Structure 1
Amino acid sequence: MSLRSILSSSDSEERWVNRIGQYFEKEVAIHNVPVSVFNVPKAISAFKPQAYTPQVIAFGPYHHMQPELYQMEKYKLAAIKSSLRPEQILNFQEIMIDKMKELEPVIRACYHKYLDHDGDALAWIVAIDGLFLLDILRGYGQVKYSQRKNLTRDAVLCRDVMVLENQIPVILLKEIRKNLQLNSVHDADDLELFLMLRGFCQIHSPLKLARMSNLSPYTSCLHLLDLMYHLIVNHQATPTRPQEQVLGLEKTDGQADEEKHQSEKEANDLILNVGEIVEMGMRLGIGKKVLKPIKVIQEMPWDKISNLLGIEMANEHDNDNHPIVEEITIPSVSHLSKFAGVKFSHTIGGIGDMKFIQEEATLYLPIITLNANSEVVLRNLVAYEVALSDSTGKLAQYVDFMSGIVDTSEDAQSFREKGIIKGDLTNEEIADLFNGMNRLSGKARNKTVDEINEYYNKRPMVKGYNFIKKRVFASWRILTLFSTILLLLLFLLNCFCEVYGCPQFFGRSS
């Protein structure tokens, strides 16, 4: 089997050789241009790939040439022409394309993935998509809260604007504005562009943002998603508490999962044995009075009982091809409330202000607004954070926390009533959103999770439940062994009766 190549043809290989030779020295000279537009790894996108790819329109070279998205090209060109002056349209090649071609090494340096486009195609892609993005951003610069409804016309495009692989680097947007002389003489730092980008983030961010003064310098953002990410993680009312790493000799997630699967297997073996015992008893002609208790055991709703005990029963219809979503270990909202008396309240701060105060038995969480595009925004923000080599992982930890604590629509409703969750999504949609998020924060966990688990496990009702669960789990092996021995004895007895007959014992005729 031949390995897949980043190049699509021999012509592409020739272009690659020529490009490497032509731009080798220039590429070395632009080492200070950071890679900012990453392609999402399959390990992340496998759980919901459509959330990481544009569905309507492409921005940038990664998806520009895809047939299902290219039908929007006429729409882009029409919007761009309406925003340009006639002389700019006539001289577009000279004032835009030729200058963008000079920036080809810079353009390529911004993108993590190899770009199989020649210089002309790359210049046109960046120019068209960059201008179209600027057209969308126009009007967000001085946006007021009362004007939000007027911006909903772009809602269908805003989803794709926030996709990680769809980002247009700010350094290229600045060059486009400079080529068209859109920035004023006093706008040396492109403050107007930053205000447009921040205005967009203000409208579409699911979490509250930091003030402009918290970003220093404010124009250092790499692209729109990068700006929203840093505005979110830097919004904090209290100093950041150090995150704790998993240390010591405690059980790893893999060991805990192995023990859980072993318990599930033993429980399933027991139930299968009970079923076969009933069937064997019927063959032997054992009276209904003797079999009635066994039938009752067999017909009990073991799936509901197992859920109550924290056991997941095996499902023959489960598809092993689908990846299993992993969550952090933390009780749900309803369990914390019912069994531990934990209360919930919203905080005016950001994700760094999430905290649990044991004296008040209260969990404080930032306000999150969830609408139609919020899941795509959250997923791509976390994917971008994972791609950054110097990130603290704060956003991934917050999303993992919400995914672990919100299990059902009742949990979502509880948070909605406390003002923690806002937005247009239904409670069921909120629960589905968080239940579909796979854990991305790794072994690192914040102190809040440890404090909640410690407080919860010390409650009398929870301690009693854990004691019973432990005893039940311990009894599975004994019950399974006993049922296996009983089944073997009945099988031998059945074989004996098939040959010799046992009417004197079971009232069967030979």
Structure 2
Amino acid sequence: MADLTIFNSESDEDAWVIQINQLVSETNLSILNKMPVCIYQVPKSLSCAKPEAFAPQLIAIGPYTHFRPQLYPMERFKVFAAKGVLDHFKKHDLKQLVEQLRNTGPFIRASYHKYLDFKEDTLLYTMAIDGLFLLDFFHNYLNDQVSGSFMRGIEEQVQISGVKLTKHAIIRDIIMVENQIPTYMLMRILVLASSIPVDSVQEYLGSMLLSFCSATSFKKVKIVLKWTLDSMKKLKDVNIPILQPIKKHLDPILHVSSQLESLSPQQQLSEEEEEAPMIVTIPSVCELHSVGVCFQPSKDGIMTIEFDQKKGIFYLPVLKLDVNSEVIMRNLVAHEALTKPDFLIFTRYTELMRGIIDTVEDVKLLKNAGIIESSSTLSVEESEELFNGMSKSIGPTKTEKLDETIKKVNHYYHVKRKANIYRTLTDYVYSSWKLFTLLATFGLLAMTALQTFCSVYDCPGYFRPK
């Protein structure tokens, strides 16, 4: 039977009353209502197919996961990493950093979709330790041309006391939707820890994020970073006094996003257009190949997927797969469903790939066409299982352009298939007409002989049961 209360004792109830009074007295609703929620819990409708793709297995980041018992043994490694960053900046006191974050508690809570049942100190120490750990991890991706000597010389903390943490496992964990801290807190921690001019800090942080996304993205289109930049743009428009020192320095980071101009703008949708079917019905790669469809890489991203009916060419974006790809894709689908429910373009793309990839041969054809690039750590069989294991969408995706492309492909396939069947039958009949004529002649002679025999002899008498 499910628990009927969150309380285990009377002391829990007393603590709850105190907490509610503090929230009511300290919370400025006019400000917090404008604070964009940026970290969500993944609904079970999305995570039920493969829960482990949304739950960190090694490193906990943020209050949602920080105190999970199975992840807490790695806490000391995060503390070592945090100390390494503080020592690098000659700031040896974690408590002092936490005190400088003291007035950010309400805004941290407002950034999370789920209520955070933590005391203020617990929440701030969680932010400080996890933020410093992320900075230690991200600094390895710094662009030398931008960063110079910033954060150089920090010892890599994933190798301590002979224990080497798996880098891929860390990457998978820190990109999970629930395993996050707000980006603006990461920047605030870096500003306070480094004591470097804010203009320089934001440039370094932007370089780290760009380089990390570039190195770990499973596609050549940096969708993860685009969403991060979209969140920063929203944050810049929020009128929150405590964030003003940070907000005014967001422009340079957003300026760095000019490197992402290759991303096509999202298509504006009409409310009068019909909703697309939720399930993608499309022939497999092998079936399309059998009717003459050729696959070629598109120049840009998902928005450039198209089908040339005259030439029979299906243009798809290049997909780079490795051992992290499944976790990244599933969390991107979840993030899109939570933040952009009216335009699920990435979700529709995964459904398209799920539709055209049925077997290992489909993957091989796409690899030969240059559509799929997989690392040596991922087999063809694993690539096929990756797409067939993806769950279906939980609602209409409203991606008319992509759905129109799917309709064109289906129409082309069915027309060509009918033409091929007709051509095959025609060729078979034409090439075999002499045989059919001979068989018809023998059949006619046999019937004539039988008729002659029956006119002389009593055929019914021969065949009547005795």
CA distance in 1, matches of 2:295, 2:308: 10
Q: 1:363 to 1:35 in 2, by over 3 A?
A: same
Select the residue among 257, 261, 280 that pairs with 1:328. Answer: 280
**Does the 8 Å CA contact 2:364/2:380 hold for their aligned counterparts?**
yes
Find the residue that maps to 2:71 and give its secondary structure.
helix
What is the match of residue 19 of structure 1? 19
From 42, 46, 49, the counterpart of 1:47 = 49
Corresponding position: 1:454 with 2:406: no
Structure 1 residues 180-226: Cα deviation after superposition (integer angstroms, max 9, x where no partner) = 135425337x122121111110011111236999997895387xxxx
> Is it true that 1:161 corresponds to 2:174 in the alignment?
yes
Which of these residues, 33, 36, 44, is aligned with residue 34 of structure 1? 36
TM-superposition CA deviations, 1:264-288 (whole Å, max 9, x none): xxxxxxxxxxxxxxxxxxxxxxxxx
Larger deviation, residues 83-92 vs 441-450 = 83-92
Q: Indicate if the aligned counterparts of 2:295 and 2:313 stay in contact, CA closer than 8 A.
A: yes
Q: CA distance change for structure 1 residues 112 and 456 in 2, over 3 Å: closer, same or farther?
A: same
CA distance in 2, matches of 1:142, 1:216: 18
Counterpart residue identity of residue 51, structure 2: P
Q: 1:459 offset after TM fit, Å?
A: 2.2
231 and 8 in structure 1: CA distance in 2 versus 1, 3 angstrom threshold: farther
Which amino acid in 1 is paired with 2:285?
Answer: V
Judged with a 3 Å threshold, the aligned counterparts in structure 2 of structure 1 residues 12 and 370 are, in CA distance, closer, same or farther, namely: farther
* 1:403 shift after superposition: 0.9
Contact (CA 8 Å) 2:98, 2:125: kept in 1 or not?
yes
Say if 1:59 and 1:161, in contact at 8 Å, map to a contact too. yes
Percent sequence identity over aligned pairs: 34
Deviation at 1:139, TM superposition (A): 2.8
Query: CA deviation digits over 1:136-164, x for unaligned, max 9?
Result: 010323069xxxxx999733311101111
Preserved contact between residue 38 and residue 164 of structure 1 (Cα < 8 Å): yes
- 1:286-301 mapped onto 2 (5 Å cutoff): none
Instruction: Write the deviation string for residues 206-254 of structure 1: whole angstroms up to 9, x where unpaired.
Output: 11236999997895387xxxx9xx9999744688485899849x9x77x
- What is the rounded CA distance, in whole Å, between the counterparts of 2:203 and 2:232 in structure 1? 7
Alignment of 1:107-186 (within 5 A): 107-142=108-143, 154-186=167-199
Q: CA deviation at 1:174?
A: 1.6
Is residue 344 of structure 2 the alignment partner of residue 393 of structure 1? yes
SS at match of 2:205: helix
In structure 2, the CA distance between the partners of 1:19 and 1:391, relative to structure 1 (3 Å rule), is: farther
Counterpart-to-counterpart distance in 2, 1:159 and 1:359: 42
Instruction: Identify the match of residue 203 of structure 1 among 215, 221, 236.
Output: 215
Determine whether 1:432 maps to 2:401.
no
Q: Distance in 2 between matches of 1:370 and 1:159?
A: 13
Root mean square deviation of aligned Cα = 3.5
Structure 1 pair 414–398 and aligned structure 2 pair: CA distance change class (3 A): same
Larger deviation: 453-462 or 35-44?
Answer: 453-462
> C-alpha deviations, 1:22-69, integer Å up to 9, x for none?
133424133322111101100000100000010011000111111110
SS state at 1:329 partner = coil
Structure 1 gap segments, 5+ residues each: 145-149, 254-326, 466-510
Q: Report the CA distance between 1:104 and its aligned residue.
A: 1.1
Give the distance between the partners of 1:164 and 1:232, measured in 2 at CA: 24
CA 1:381–1:12 in 2, change beyond 3 Å: closer, same or farther?
Answer: farther
Q: Give, in angstroms, the shift of residue 359 of structure 1.
A: 0.6
1:407-426: CA deviation from partner (whole Å, max 9, x where unpaired) = 11100000100110002222
Q: Letter of the aligned partner of 1:331 in structure 2?
A: P
Give 2:446's aligned residue: none
Q: Displacement, 1:101?
A: 3.2
In structure 1, distance between residues paired with 2:353 and 2:360: 13
- SS class of match (2:79): helix
Aligned counterpart in structure 1 of residue 293 of structure 2, from 334, 339, 342? 342
Q: Does the CA-based 8 Å contact 2:91-2:193 persist in structure 1?
A: no
CA contact (8 A) 2:191 2:198 kept: no
Q: Following the alignment from structure 1 to structure 2, what is the Cα–Cα distance between the partners of residues 121 and 191? A: 30
Which letter does structure 2 place at the counterpart of 1:19?
Q
Q: Tell me which moved more, 14-23 or 398-407.
A: 14-23
Q: Look up the SS of the partner of 1:348 in the other structure.
A: coil
Which residue of 402, 412, 416 maps to 2:363?
A: 412
The alignment covers a number of residue pairs equal to 376
- When residues 182 and 219 of structure 1 are mapped into structure 2, their CA distance, relative to the original with a 3 A threshold, is farther
Distance 1:131 1:436 in 2: 35
For normalisation by structure 1, the TM-score amounts to 0.66
Deviation string for 1:348-387 (max 9, x for gaps)?
2011111111011110000010000011001101100000
Q: 1:33 to 1:168 in 2, by over 3 A?
A: same
- Give the distance between the partners of 1:76 and 1:19, measured in 2 at CA: 29
Alignment of 1:191-270 (within 5 A): 191-209=203-221, 219-220=232-233, 235-236=262-263, 240=267, 247=274
How many angstroms apart in 2 are the aligned matches of 1:215 and 1:2? 38
Q: Measured at CA, do residues 81 and 91 of structure 1 come closer, stay the same or move farther in structure 2, by a change above 3 Å? A: closer
Residues 64, 178 of structure 2: 8 Å contact kept: yes
- Give, in whole Å, the separation in 2 of the partners of 1:438 and 1:231: 34
Candidates 31, 47, 62, aligned match of 2:64: 62
Distance in structure 1 (CA, Å) of the matches to 2:258 and 2:406: 24
Amino acid at match of 2:73: Q
Q: Deviations over 1:397-443 (max 9, x none)?
A: 11111111111110000010011000222211111000011122733
Is the CA contact (8 Å cut-off) linking 1:136 and 1:154 kept in structure 2?
Answer: no
Does the aligned pair in 2 maintain the 1:108–1:115 contact within 8 Å?
A: yes
Deviation at 1:390, TM superposition (A): 5.8
Secondary structure of residue in 2 paired with 1:165:
coil
- The structural deviation recorded for 1:102 is 2.1
Distance 1:119 1:202, change over 3 A: same
Q: Aligned pair in 2 of structure 1 residues 32, 241: CA closer, same or farther (>3 Å)?
A: closer
Partner amino acid for 1:357? D
- 7-16 vs 133-142, greater mean Cα deviation: 7-16
Q: Indicate which of 290, 314, 320 corresponds to 1:369.
A: 320
1:71 maps to amino acid: P
Cα distance between partner residues in 2 of 1:423 and 1:50:
22
